Structure 1
Amino acid sequence: MRTAVCSGSFDPITLGHLDVICRAAACFDRVVVCVSPNAEKRSQMFTPEQKLRLVRAAVAELPNVEAELWPGLLADFAAAHGAGVIVRGVRNVTDFDAEYQMALINKGICPGLETMLLPAGQEYQHFSSSMAREMIRYRQPLEKYLPMSIVPMVLEMMESQKG
């Protein structure tokens, strides 16, 4: 069984993330989504547990996709799940440079681990979780940015944070 890992902080998961996960699911027998806290991103909108709930809801219709939280190194997560490939989406040259460097680091940690970079679909090249958070903050329609299955959950989570 060929297993791949898709990773991210998913704060929140966007249609761009889901597109990469769906494309990976079409290429591999099993895809494990690694929801990881990102220590470098200071302004997190959702807790790790909330992010996991959102990701699981977004991928619920994909039978060969599962999601887990992981606070450690991505290479260790891949090894723990028997994955030989990390799949990452790239929107632009800046993303490519950062992902290329991470691929080299992960390969240094786990020599058998490959990284597959999928270019973002044209309709998702401008998407980011930062942009989605701004749309949420300013109460803009979310259906163009987030999977429909999570929009009610996001709105509920935001309401509960107010009180």
Structure 2
Amino acid sequence: MADRVGVYPGTFDPITLGHMDIIRRGAKLVDRLVIGVTTNPSKSPMFSVEERMAMVQREVAGIGGAVTVVSFDSLLMDFAEREGASMIVRGLRAVADFEYEYQMAGMNQQLNDRIETVFLMADVSLQPIASRLVKEIAIYGGNISRFVTSSVESEVRARVEQIGRKGS
């Protein structure tokens, strides 16, 4: 029997404790979990794709099972097909996430009905965490230590020092 491969796509700018929760749980559902780090034209990333890949690789290093980190700049379903995936893993935080993810899953199914989308509810304590908000809090000098690991916090703080903090 072939290995069951899942893809967990995202921008991971930066990777949060919420992402890590979905990665840990998603890794238990498949033989190999591919973390797909992508560019999203509608977002302006704080970190380059290479920086985000290095960050994600460092953070997932301690997770058991076969977890790999790959960058991609294509349709998700094309990427999933190339990786041999049978499922897309997505995390849900709130009803607003569900509406967007439901629409995306429907479109993805139209593109490739051999790949299922599996939704994992974020842990209740992690549901409010969003990379966009983590960056905003950091840019305004707030404490992000409850939302990211200490090493990610250091990287975000260093980047904020480079680009300049607001509200000071």
The verdict on a shared fold, with TM-score over 0.5 as the criterion, is yes
CA offset digits 1:9-63 (Å, max 9, x no partner):
111111111111110012211100011111112x321111111111111111124
CA offset digits 1:96-147 (Å, max 9, x no partner):
1111111111111112010001111100111101111012213333321112
- Partner residue in 2 for 1:79: 81
Asked if the contact 1:18/1:147 (under 8 Å) is kept, the reply is no
Q: Shift in Å at residue 152 of structure 1?
A: 2.9
How do 1:47-66 residues align onto structure 2 when only pairs under 5 Å count?
47-63=48-64, 64-66=66-68
Shift of the 94–122 alpha-carbon distance from structure 1 to 2, 3 Å rule, reads same
Asked if the contact 2:46/2:159 (under 8 Å) is kept, the reply is no
TM-score (norm 1): 0.91
The gaps in structure 2 that reach 5 residues or longer are: none
- Partner residue in 1 for 2:20: 18
Which is greater in Rg? 2
The gaps in structure 1 that reach 5 residues or longer are: none
* 1: CA distance, partners of 2:104 / 2:128: 22
Q: Shift in Å at residue 157 of structure 1?
A: 4.0
How many residues end up aligned between the 2 structures? 161
User: Matched residue of 2:114: which SS?
Assistant: coil
* 1: CA distance, partners of 2:131 / 2:96: 16
The one-letter amino acid paired with 1:48 is V
* 1: CA distance, partners of 2:125 / 2:82: 34
Structure 1 vs Structure 2 CA RMSD = 1.6
TM-score (norm 2): 0.88
The one-letter amino acid paired with 1:44 is P
Q: Shift in Å at residue 161 of structure 1?
A: 5.1
User: Matched residue of 1:27: which SS?
Assistant: coil
The one-letter amino acid paired with 2:77 is A
Shift of the 61–37 alpha-carbon distance from structure 1 to 2, 3 Å rule, reads same
- Percent identity of paired positions between Structure 1 and Structure 2: 38
The one-letter amino acid paired with 1:50 is E
Shift of the 86–127 alpha-carbon distance from structure 1 to 2, 3 Å rule, reads same
* 1: CA distance, partners of 2:73 / 2:101: 19
The one-letter amino acid paired with 1:74 is L
How do 1:1-163 residues align onto structure 2 when only pairs under 5 Å count?
1-41=3-43, 43-63=44-64, 64-160=66-162
The one-letter amino acid paired with 1:79 is E
140-149 or 17-26: bigger deviation: 140-149
